[in-house]
Structure 1
Amino acid sequence: MAPALSHVDWILTTGRQLGLDRMVYGLAERLCDAGVPLMRLRLSMRTTHPLTEAESVLWEADTGPITQSDAPHGLETRPAYIGSPMAVIAETGAPLRRKLTAPLAPSDHLVLRELRDRGATDYFGLPLDFVAGTGGMVIFVSNAPTGFSDADIDLLHRIANALCPIAEAHGNHRLATAIATSYLGARTGQRVLAGQITRGNIETIEAAILFSDIRGWTALNATRPASEALAIANTYFEVMSEAVDTTNGEILKFMGDGVLALFPSDGTDQGRQSTCRQAIAASHAAQGIAVLADLPVPFGIGIHYGEVLYGNVGARTRIDFTILGQAVNIASRVESFCRRLSQTILVSDTVAAIADVPMRHVSTQALKGLDTPMPLHTPST
């Protein structure tokens, strides 16, 4: 029979393939099976993410795996963190061990008191020094009468050294995913992460294209402080993002005071109809969400359906993931009539025919680039 893998070898081979959370859970169970008196194991690390500042994976002997958690920005200002053992480890970059069987001082953080009240006897935290500088830490807590032995402490040092590069690799992957999805959208971001990053890597797809922008943006900027205009723009972007996301679309770009969203189709009759209806549903949703968000400015939405080029364009060292084509231009020009015709939503004749939902004809207009005027409609429900 082959000898069992050491804990360090397991981390570097089997464990690293499991994902961060399952690796931590598996490691905790292996340590307990080997006789290490482990009550709690927590791996926590800083992130570079627009919504979260740190992420943690936590295991406890009483409950087993605990859902991976994220801490929002502003962590350092919270009483639960200020002066805590984790804060001390982050500030000093040094290990921290505290025997909880000894009397606690008045200055000791509430975290240590709560752990002691639950039966913890030994707290041992080690920093994880990442190359990128963000870093993290791993926390081991024991509830054995005498806490961790010297041999346990030596093992936990070696385990932390093995965990460090694995945790950093997972953190880098999460960072790449966060950047791609935050700046490009979930669907497009995944395409980039899958390797579609070469200039000219473009495919032709059919889609419903939604354009929207704030009405009177120039006048708004001229009459309100820049900070107030920015806050209004962000509220508007939030409104459109929620509306598009909940109807299976994707915002491809924020452009000044405007939004370009995409609803890809599989090219079948059913797929065309579905995506056009989704784009219309997003428009209705945006109106409702805007009321709830108390958005103080009106906006227009234009929708067209057609064939677009979807992929990477740009210079050799600076590329952009976007959509191009006549269908994109038409969607933009349809939206430009919203203000002139006093409508919040306008759709092209193509969308009206494909969607097959109640519509009201608003006007027939000449659109730049088209040989014949196009009837414009607004959904009647």
Structure 2
Amino acid sequence: MQDTDAHIAWILSKGRMLGLQALVDGLGPRLRDGGMDLMRFRLGMRTTHPLTTALSFVWENEGGPIVQVAAPHGLESRSAYVGSPMEHVATTRTPYRRNLTGPLTDTDHTILHELKERGATDYYGVPLDFVAASSGIMMVVSDGADGFSDDDIALLTTLSQVLSPVAEAHGNFHLATAIATSYLGPNTGQRVLDGQITRGDIETTQAAILFSDIRGWTALNAAEPPERVLEIANGYFEVMSDAVDNNGGEILKFMGDGILALFPSDGSDGGKVQACRQALSAAHAALGIARLADLPVPFGTGIHYGELLYGNVGARERIDFTVLGQSVNIAARVEAFCGRLDEPILLSDHAAQLTGMPTRHVTTEVLKGLDMPMPLHAPNFP
């Protein structure tokens, strides 16, 4: 006999403190141990993410727990979704019930045929209503001889109402994380989520700073239609993102046709060397990725190492998470010479020395804003 109050108490006390995957992994066995012939338990919800349109958290009685399933954008046009019970519940916001003990027809979705072949006898889906515009779904499958009983359906309907605010809270957290990491990067985004959102909340840190931008951007905009320019820019940003991410850095900003990336250091001698080598490796990798991707535009990359201010600046109610300081300015000035000197990568004298890797002196220039001339170096990559 199912203890409805005990299930609700578990969800609202322990279950809600777990991730949604752990919640369904815990609730599924509880319901089955209570006497429900439960074969599958699934929670699904829409999400906001550059790569993902929906998330599902699935438990199955046989084969153990299933990891979180992320559906890419374009879900609505896929055969796995069109005409499915999931589409019915998501579109109509009404429950869906299908007995699977009898014969199925061609009008029944493929997922129902597949579940029946695995021994499923009953399918029940119900919407999870959220306060926000997004929403969720709870879908359960029985493998009992008679499917779900009336008491089972009543219990599941009650639990769906309890699960709705819990799922919405987790969904909102996922949304906040997706927005913060997508627009600020994983490390900076986590700082914001941890509460570093007050203007003037700034720390001093050290890092290798990488500036990069497309050469001939103005001419490109004059020669190509906007759609083509956007396509090229996105291709370049993807090249740089892959190179920076794969070498331990983080893109802090996309700026027009360029990027600003940081390779953090703990300030020790070894940390400085590692950060500069990571930045140089990223710059070199970007050139290789661009060749493989047949990127149609050249770009330059400047690298410097130094101290900078890292945190929030702006107006009272509109702030930006950014970096400030002379080291940032120097990195930008170094990059500006790439086009003039026809060098794809340039390093400041300090960054070149820290890498400890072979470089060649290209020129000595007085950088804008600095009184002393600075030697600029290019890597001796083949």
Scaled by the length of structure 2, what TM-score is found?
0.98
Map 1:103-252 to 2 at 5 A. 103-252=103-252
Aligned to 1:304: 304
Counterpart of 2:222 in structure 1: which amino acid? A
Aligned to 2:279: 279
Question: Would you say how many aligned residue pairs link Structure 1 and Structure 2?
Answer: 379
Aligned to 1:353: 353
Q: CA deviation at 1:4?
A: 11
Greater CA drift, 96-105 or 45-54: 96-105
Counterpart of 1:328 in structure 2: which amino acid? V
Greater CA drift, 96-105 or 307-316: 96-105
Deviations 1:56-90 (A, max 9, x none): 01111111200111000110101111010100111
Secondary structure at 2:35 match in 1: coil
Are 2:58 and 2:65, in contact at CA under 8 Å, matched by a contact in 1? yes
Q: CA deviation at 1:189?
A: 0.3
User: RMSD of the TM alignment (CA)?
Assistant: 1.1
Secondary structure at 2:264 match in 1: strand
CA distance in 2, matches of 1:184, 1:332: 20
Secondary structure at 1:158 match in 2: helix
Deviations 1:16-62 (A, max 9, x none): 11211001010001011101100111111100111100000111111
Q: CA deviation at 1:179?
A: 0.3
Secondary structure at 2:242 match in 1: helix
Q: CA deviation at 1:290?
A: 0.5
Scaled by the length of structure 1, what TM-score is found?
0.98
CA distance in 2, matches of 1:140, 1:368: 66
CA distance in 1, matches of 2:298, 2:194: 38
CA distance in 2, matches of 1:72, 1:47: 10
Secondary structure at 1:6 match in 2: helix
Greater CA drift, 105-114 or 210-219: 105-114
Deviations 1:92-117 (A, max 9, x none): 10011111113323311111111111
Counterpart of 1:378 in structure 2: which amino acid? A
CA distance in 2, matches of 1:171, 1:184: 19
Are 2:4 and 2:155, in contact at CA under 8 Å, matched by a contact in 1? no
Counterpart of 1:343 in structure 2: which amino acid? E
Aligned to 2:79: 79
CA distance in 2, matches of 1:18, 1:25: 10
Aligned to 2:15: 15
Matched, 1:46 2:46: yes
Aligned to 1:378: 378
Aligned to 2:324: 324
Secondary structure at 1:63 match in 2: coil
CA distance in 1, matches of 2:156, 2:213: 56
Aligned to 1:253: 253
CA distance in 2, matches of 1:162, 1:133: 18
Uncovered stretches (5+) of structure 1, i.e. residues with no partner:
none
CA distance in 1, matches of 2:103, 2:138: 24
Are 2:301 and 2:345, in contact at CA under 8 Å, matched by a contact in 1? yes
Are 2:304 and 2:347, in contact at CA under 8 Å, matched by a contact in 1? yes
Q: CA deviation at 1:5?
A: 6.5
Uncovered stretches (5+) of structure 2, i.e. residues with no partner:
none
Moved over 2 A (4+): 102-106
Aligned to 1:31: 31
